[in-house]
C-alpha cells in the first residue's frame, strides 16, 4: 500500500481540487479518499472543458477512480445526492465509483439549523461543527445507519486491507492548515483536522506515506468573520483578478499578501515533499509582488525575484512548482 496526500497550506481555496485532478490523470491511483471536512468544502475542477464544483465527492471520480468519503468527513445526504446528479448529468458515472465509509458521520437538518445561527466565527453554515460535536459526544449518526445511503456504504478496512490487489491511495484534503482546529488561528478555525496526519485517521497506516503535495497561492485569501484584508485598494484588484469568491458560499474572499512564515510552518508540519503555488498570474496582472516575512512586508521588482526568494526560504528537500494554469500543475 502506498499513499500520497494533497494538503492546503493556507486558508483553503488554494487549488486542491485542481492538483488532485491533475495527479489522477496518470492513472496511478486505485482510490481517492476525502479525509476531512464536509459540504463546507468547494473544490473547483476544469475537466474536459467543463467547470465542476464538488463539496463532498473526491475528484478521482472524474477519472474512473474509486472515490471514497472517509470517516474523517461528515456528509449531508441531500448535498451528496445533488452532486451525484450533477456529475451524472455531466456524463460522469458517479454512482459506479463513489462510496462512503460506513463510519462516516452524517449532517442532519438540526445541525444545519444550529449552524445557521453562527455569527461570531463566520462559518459556511453547512452544519459541520454541530455534526462533529455530536460525533465526539457519541450521539451522532453514521452513514451505515442511514437507509438512503446504503447503496454507497463501504467498509473501508475491508476495501483497503482485505484485498490481493495493490492499493494506491491519493488523499484529498479540505480547508487549509490556517483553519485547522489545532494549528489554525483559534477560534477562527474549521471543525476538522486539515493536516497530513489527519489523512491517516482514515484507515491507512502512516508507513504507507510516499509524497505530500502542499498547495498554496501566491497571495492569501480567507472567508470568515475575522479581519484579514488590509485597507489598500490593491487587494480589491487581487480579488477581481483571481475571481476570489467562495465556491461554497459565494462570499467575497478577503485577500492579503502571502505570509511566508505560515507557509514555512505549514510545509514543515505537514511534511511537504512537493509544493505547488497557484495563481502566479494574478500578481502579474495587478503588477505588484509582495509577501510578508517576520511581520514585515517585502517588495520585489518582478515575479522571478519573488519566486527565487520563496524557493530560498523553503526547505531544500521540497520541490517547488509555480502554476498559472487552471486545469493542470
Cis, peptide link before residue 187, omega less than 30° from 0: yes
C-alpha cell at 89: 448529468
Contact 15, 217 (CB under 8 A): yes
Q: Which candidate, 169, 196, 186, 189, places its Cα nearest to that of 68?
A: 169
DSSP state, 251? Answer: P
C-alpha cell at 154: 463501504
| Residue tagged active-site, from 4, 13, 115, 134 | 13
How far from each other are the two terminal CA atoms of the chain, in whole angstroms? 25
| Annotation says 43 is catalytic | yes
H/E run at residue 310:
helix 303-312
| Residue tagged active-site, from 4, 8, 31, 43 | 43
CA dist list (Å): 250 to 38, 48, 223: 17, 24, 10
Beta-carbon contacts of residue 187 (< 8 Å; ≥ 6 apart): 120, 121
Q: Which candidate, 79, 78, 72, places its Cα nearest to that of 56?
A: 79
Beta-carbon contacts of residue 110 (< 8 Å; ≥ 6 apart): 130
DSSP state, 206? Answer: G
DSSP state, 73? Answer: B
Q: What is the maximum alpha-carbon separation in the chain?
A: 60
| Annotation says 134 is catalytic | no
Q: How far is Cα 272 from Cα 153, in angstroms, rounded to an integer?
A: 32
Question: Which residues carry out catalysis?
Answer: 13, 43
Amino acid at each position: 500500500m502506498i499513499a500520497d496526500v494533497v494538503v492546503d497550506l493556507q486558508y483553503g481555496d488554494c487549488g486542491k481540487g485542481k492538483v488532485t485532478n491533475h495527479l489522477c490523470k496518470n492513472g496511478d491511483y486505485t482510490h481517492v479518499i476525502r479525509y476531512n471536512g464536509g459540504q463546507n468544502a468547494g473544490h473547483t475542477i476544469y475537466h474536459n472543458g467543463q467547470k465542476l464544483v464538488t463539496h463532498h465527492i473526491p475528484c478521482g471520480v472524474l477519472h474512473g477512480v474509486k472515490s471514497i468519503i472517509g470517516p474523517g468527513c461528515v456528509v449531508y445526504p441531500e448535498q451528496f445526492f445533488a452532486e451525484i446528479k450533477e456529475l451524472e448529468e455531466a456524463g460522469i458515472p458517479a454512482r459506479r465509483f463513489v462510496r462512503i465509509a460506513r463510519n462516516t458521520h452524517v449532517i442532519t437538518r438540526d445541525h444545519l439549523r444550529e449552524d445557521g445561527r453562527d455569527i461570531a466565527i463566520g462559518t459556511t453554515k453547512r452544519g459541520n461543527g454541530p455534526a462533529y460535536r455530536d460525533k465526539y459526544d457519541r450521539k451522532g449518526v453514521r452513514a451505515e445507519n442511514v437507509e438512503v445511503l446504503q447503496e454507497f456504504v463501504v467498509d473501508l478496512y475491508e476495501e483497503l486491507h482485505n484485498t490481493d490487489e495493490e492499493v494506491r491511495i491519493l488523499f484529498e484534503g479540505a480547508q487549509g492548515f490556517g483553519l485547522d482546529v489545532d494549528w489554525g488561528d483559534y477560534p477562527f478555525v474549521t471543525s476538522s483536522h486539515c493536516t497530513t496526519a489527519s489523512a491517516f485517521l482514515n484507515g491507512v497506516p502512516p508507513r504507507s506515506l510516499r509524497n505530500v503535495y502542499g498547495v498554496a497561492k501566491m497571495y492569501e485569501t480567507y472567508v470568515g468573520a475575522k479581519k484579514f484584508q488590509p485597507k489598500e485598494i490593491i487587494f480589491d484588484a487581487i480579488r477581481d483578478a483571481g475571481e476570489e469568491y467562495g465556491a461554497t458560499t459565494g462570499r467575497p474572499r478577503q485577500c492579503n499578501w502571502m505570509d511566508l512564515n505560515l507557509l514555512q510552518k505549514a510545509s514543515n508540519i505537514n511534511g511537504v515533499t512537493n509544493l505547488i503555488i497557484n495563481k502566479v498570474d494574478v500578481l502579474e496582472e495587478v503588477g505588484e509582488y509582495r509577501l510578508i516575512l517576520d511581520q514585515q512586508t517585502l517588495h520585489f521588482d518582478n515575479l522571478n525575484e519573488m519566486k527565487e526568494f520563496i524557493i530560498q526560504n523553503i526547505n531544500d528537500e521540497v520541490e517547488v512548482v509555480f502554476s498559472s494554469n487552471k486545469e493542470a500543475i
